[in-house]
Structure 1
Amino acid sequence: MTIQELLAGGGGLILLLLTLVQIAPVKINPWSALAKTVGKAVNADISSRLDGIEAKLDGHITMDDRRTADSRRAQILHFNNELLRPINHTKEEFVEVLAKIDDYERYCEEHPEYPNNRAVLAIENIREVYKERLKKRDFLQESHAKDEEEGDVC
């Protein structure tokens, strides 16, 4: 068999096809496409139920995140109230509340619909008092805090 006979007898088509596959290797698998279509048809009911469950879960996650933000705001406002009384705090307590402020502000940035105006001034005051305490180095010391808790203060 010569090349001319191969090209004339349909071999040319095979040669062209192999060349195209070699140049642009596109994987076509009709069995996978068929199995995917059948799988979607068989599992349509389960898929729609999962979509409903996913929507409910998203709602619960949103509600939980909002509750967490509400809790952080309450803790921030409480800490600010203690500063206004005045109740002294350790540096560690300030660092802890500043971390809560960071989390709270991050949530507010990511959720612009969340009402943030309740804590803005409290946050500003906490930061100002913290800066003053850093400059003066007059945080409540741990040893004094333990003595006050135990009632050993003279």
Structure 2
Amino acid sequence: MDLLQLKDLLSNSGWGLIILLTLIQIAPIKINPWGALLKFLGKAMNAELNEKMDGFKGDLQGIKKDVATLQTDVTSLKDDVTTLKSDVVTMKNDINGVGGKVDKLRYTVDENEAKQARVRILRFSDEILNNIPHGDEHYAEILRCCDSYEEYCMAHPTFKNSVAVNSIDEIKKSYEEHRQKRSFLEQNSLNNQKEN
């Protein structure tokens, strides 16, 4: 066989192959050579597109996982907010409790200051009754003490004050007498007494 004959055979056999494949496709046999050929060619032509689609599918799966994680985080944040709200309510209750304790402490401190003022008033009254002289400034200070003591007693009617009432009257009366007579102990004589 020479080259020309081979060429004729191949060209004739090429047409023969096409006719044979067409007949096989038409025949009731389940072989589909054209479909297989087109499928192969389609895969080859769309390989790049299929790779991109596979990448998109992977990205979509990643996004779905991220959304699920975000939903979990949101649920966790909601729980944290609920816990914080509960903590705030507890703190408010604690603050109210502390506020009550502060008020009680303030009341106790004020009462102690009133008792100390009463002691100073009683001592000053005793000194007046024992004729111990006092200066103008000393009287001014004890009168301020008497005023704050009387204000406390008016604001707290349950506070017992029966002892200091007479002493305050005695101090005020003595102050008026010394003021009218201008007979307060002078500061110079106090300094002289301290030096001796």
TM-score normalised by the chain length of structure 1: 0.71
Partner secondary structure for residue 89 of structure 1:
coil
Structure 1 stretches lacking a partner, 5+ long: 1-37
Rounded to whole Å, the distance in 1 between the matches of 2:170 and 2:159 is 21
Q: Name 1:119's counterpart in structure 2.
A: 164
Query: Secondary structure in 1 aligned to 2:158?
Result: coil
Q: 1:140 to 1:56 in 2, by over 3 A?
A: same
Cα drift, residue 47 of structure 1: 1.1
2:106 to 41, 61, 65: 61
Tell me the distance in 2 between the aligned counterparts of 1:50 and 1:65.
22
2:138 is matched with which residue? 93
| Greater share of residues in helix | 2
How far apart are the structure 1 equivalents of 2:171 and 2:150? 14
Matches within 5 A, 1:1-154: 41-151=86-196
Instruction: For residue 120 of structure 1, report the CA deviation from its aligned partner.
Output: 0.3
Match of residue 42 from structure 2: none
Distance in 2 of aligned mates of 1:51 and 1:109: 28
CA distance in 2: counterparts of 1:40 and 1:76, whole angstroms: 53
Task: Note the C-alpha offset of 1:116.
Answer: 1.1
SS at match of 1:43: helix
* Distance (Å, rounded) in 2 between the aligned partners of 1:42 and 1:81: 58
Aligned to 2:43: none
Distance 1:130 1:40 in 2: 62
Q: Give me the whole-angstrom Cα distance separating, in 2, the residues matched to 1:139 and 1:131.
A: 10
**Identity of matched residues, %:** 32
Letter in 1 for 2:189: H
TM (normalized to structure 2)? 0.56
Q: CA RMSD in A?
A: 1.6
Quick one: which amino acid aligns to residue 100 of structure 2?
A: A
Q: Give the whole-Å Cα distance in 1 for the aligned partners of 2:85 and 2:177.
A: 64
Quote the residue 1:22 is aligned against.
Answer: none
2:143 is aligned with what amino acid?
Answer: L
Kindly tell me the number of residue pairs found equivalent between the two proteins: 115
Task: Specify the alignment match of 1:11 in structure 2.
Answer: none
1:94-146 Cα offsets, whole Å, 9 max, x none, are 01100000100111111111111110000000011111111111111111110
Q: Which has the larger radius of gyration?
A: 2
